[in-house]
A = this chain, B = another copy of it.
Amino acid sequence: MSSLDTIVRLPGLTLKNPVLTASGTFGYGLEFARYGNLADLGGIVVKGLSLKPRQGNPMPRIAETPCGMLNAIGIQNIGVEAFLRDKLPFLPWRETAVIANLYACDAHEFGELAAVLASVEGMTALEVNVSCPNVKEGGVAFGQNPGQIRAVTEEVKRNAGSKPVIVKLSPNVTDIADAARAAVDGGADMLSCINTLMGMAVDIRTRKPRLANVYGGLSGPAIKPVALRCVHQVCRAVSVPVIGVGGIASAEDILDFILVGAHAVQVGTANFMRPDAAFRMASELPALMEKLGIDGLDDFRGSLRA
């Protein structure tokens, strides 16, 4: 292990390292306690939470694709109340950042959800999922409209008290910089990007879609080039810190995102490749930095020679 400093200072919170886990891929965190010390992570973003419990979409909900996967879980979750009662107390929130991921269908509901979470000591920050692409068979989703992104962000901010607000952007837009500016205008303290790409898979034998929901979100290494491009565009468009997400599967991948300007990253689908993936990346990062002659993340960040 190296003695390199991997601390990341963000508005209203400090991460011991830049490795967070992505919402929906790490459950409520506790599922992974058998595979590493949760407190060793930079932070945990838990499964999308709604005001009331949700059953999500019908099965099948997942499909494997080349270097990636599709999901249309439909934000099945136990609801914010059960989360705060049954899960949060068991998470090491004094030792690492525990970030809620908020899911709702309109600005008002988002505000309510934010208000509930804002009052809870164990919640480090709130991430707003305005970018769920799991809409039944097309149509333009919520998070693809800058006006709505701004409205939701404002509403969450109004209710979030002192908790930092992260807005998570969808890549399924013509201009992600526009979406980023809308979120920042609405008061976002940080942005995370990207959520999944809208995709589809079918079975020529049964002639059915592989997801009951027909469309789902594409994630995994396959989308990394798109995620990296989005993060680069967003970092150039706004000045709030950006958290990179999408296809990260190694410590090298983490540095890719930091090189284009990200402050931190989230590990998603890679948690399925092996459940200790995020822990391994967090522990391998300092040695890799040393090997590459990177003294600190602050110097390295955004140092792309383009």
Contact = CB atoms under 8 A, between A and B. Distances in A.
A169 interface: no
Given A222-B223, A226-B218, A204 B259 contact: yes
Given A228-B200, A229-B215, A222 B66 contact: yes
Interface stretch (A13-21, A44-52, A170-178): A170-178
Contacts of A236: 138
Interface centre among A174, A205, A259 (most CB of B within 10 A): A174
Given A200-B228, A204-B259, A292-B204, A214 B65 contact: no
Interface residues of A, number: 52
Nearest to A144: B174
A262 B138 CA distance: 17
The CB with the most chain B CB atoms within 10 A, among A66, A137, A199, A225, is that of A225
A232 interface: yes
Given A207-B259, A228-B201, A66 B247 contact: yes
Contacts of A206: 305
Contacts of A22: none
A197 interface: yes
B259 A68 contact: no
A225 B204 contact: no
A303 interface: yes
B222 A67 contact: yes
Contact of A67 (B140, B208, B209, B221): B221
Which among A175, A177, A222 has the highest number of chain B CB atoms within 10 Å? A222
Given A172-B174, A204-B255, A292-B204, A137 B306 contact: yes
Contact of A221 (B66, B174, B175, B233): B66
A207 B65 contact: no
Contacts of A144: 174-175
Contact of A204 (B172, B199, B221, B256): B256
A202 interface: yes
Number of copies: 2
Interface string A252-277: 10011001100000000000000000
A272 to B, nearest CB: 15
Interface of A: 65-68, 70, 137-138, 140, 144, 172-175, 177, 197-202, 204-209, 214-215, 218, 220-226, 228-229, 232-233, 236, 247, 252, 255-256, 259-260, 292, 303-306
30 contacts: A66-B67, A66-B221, A66-B224, A66-B247, A67-B67, A70-B225, A138-B177, A138-B236, A144-B174, A172-B174, A173-B173, A197-B197, A197-B226, A198-B229, A201-B225, A201-B228, A204-B252, A204-B259, A204-B292, A205-B292, A206-B305, A207-B305, A208-B305, A208-B306, A209-B304, A209-B306, A218-B225, A218-B226, A221-B222, A222-B223
